[in-house]
């Protein structure tokens, strides 16, 4: 069918970062953090735990209030909004979720990293409206899930990843300025794009976006880890199509829409499941995500 996903491309042969470890991709080491590790160094995690302990219900002015809100906001493009909306549905149906926690989808279709790195972009007005519609304020936002990409990339690795990393750094600075009580930013790279039939964000760019996220986190961790919100992975989404990865996650052609890029209902559910498992188990999240 014209425009249908390329379902024959069941693998691109890349090792997911969580499986690559000390191995390399074009000279760049695997793992989500330094030394091929998928866990943050203990000293850095302690900083994250301190930020997590500071998360508490706040009133509209950002003052502690037992009846206030903890707002977790998504920031990103079309894939992010599709995935986070499903995550909101599943999290809100989970009795474990903290009743003070307000999940707000601030991701918007068509708003790539090149667009929203501009603090004056219309995107940020949309985010304001989304928060207002949820009866929430910028002062109540304390956690963010950030997932972005560059639309129709053409640069070769590692320039493409460095370009995205710079965009993400600019976006993080905007988030710091707009949300004064922001404690933690969890980042994600793209899902598998081997089935893509457009140049929106195909492979290898989807895979290589993981190095942009990793580079941003390591730069924060090594340069000034106590400044501003804590940055960390949360969680890693890419897997090599039907070849999968060590934890058994696969990405089938049924998990994408006809363009092979945007997640279908089943793809959205897979990502939402990864998110829910992460926030209900990660040491920096369970204290405020789960009802105490």
pTM: 0.97
The pair of three-digit structure tokens given for residue 3, joined into one six-digit string: 């425009």
Positions of E strands within the chain: 24-25, 28-29, 70-76, 101-105, 141-147, 184-188, 230-233
pLDDT (tens, 9 = 90+) of the chain, 292 residues, equals: 336 999 999 999 999 999 999 999 999 999 999 999 999 999 999 999 999 999 999 999 999 999 999 999 999 999 999 999 999 999 999 999 999 999 999 999 999 999 999 999 999 999 999 999 999 999 999 999 999 999 999 999 999 999 999 999 999 999 999 999 999 999 999 999 999 999 999 999 999 999 999 999 999 999 989 999 999 999 999 999 999 999 999 999 999 999 999 999 999 999 999 999 999 999 999 999 999 7
pLDDT at 245: 98
Q: What angle do CA 19, 150, 170 make, to 5 degrees?
A: 95
Cβ atoms of 223 and 231 within 8 Å: the answer is: no
Contact 279, 52 (CB under 8 A): no
State which fold the 17-289 domain adopts: Rossmann fold (3.40.50)
What pLDDT is recorded for position 292? 78
**What confidence tens digit (pLDDT) does each residue in 239-253 have?**
999 999 999 999 999
């Amino acid at each position: 069918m014209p425009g249908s996903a390329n379902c024959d491309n069941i693998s691109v042969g890349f090792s997911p970062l969580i499986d690559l470890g000390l191995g390399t991709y074009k000279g760049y080491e695997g793992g989500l953090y330094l030394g091929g590790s998928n866990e943050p160094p203990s000293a850095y995690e302690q900083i994250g735990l301190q930020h997590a302990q500071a998360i508490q219900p706040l009133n509209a002015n950002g003052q502690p209030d037992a009846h206030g809100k903890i707002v977790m906001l998504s920031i990103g493009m079309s894939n992010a909004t599709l995935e986070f909306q499903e995550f909101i549905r599943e999290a809100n149906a989970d009795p474990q979720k903290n009743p003070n926690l307000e999940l707000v989808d601030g991701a918007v279709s068509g708003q790539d990293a090149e667009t929203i790195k501009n603090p004056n972009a219309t995107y940020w007005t949309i985010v304001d409206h989304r928060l207002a519609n949820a009866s929430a304020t910028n002062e109540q936002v304390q956690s963010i899930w950030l997932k972005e990409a560059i639309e129709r990339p053409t640069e070769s690795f590692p320039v493409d990843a460095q370009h995205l990393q710079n965009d993400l750094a600019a976006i993080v600075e905007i988030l710091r300025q707009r949300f004064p009580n922001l404690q933690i930013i969890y980042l994600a790279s793209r899902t598998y794009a081997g089935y893509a039939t457009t140049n929106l964000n195909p492979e290898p760019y989807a895979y290589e976006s993981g190095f942009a996220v990793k580079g941003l986190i390591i730069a924060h961790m090594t340069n000034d880890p106590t400044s501003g919100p804590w940055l960390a992975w949360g969680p890693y989404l890419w897997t090599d199509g039907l070849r999968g990865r060590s934890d058994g996650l696969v990405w089938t052609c049924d998990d994408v829409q006809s363009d092979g890029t945007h997640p279908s209902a089943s793809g959205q559910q897979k990502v939402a499941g990864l998110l829910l498992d992460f926030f209900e188990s990660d040491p920096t999240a369970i204290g405020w995500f789960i009802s105490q």
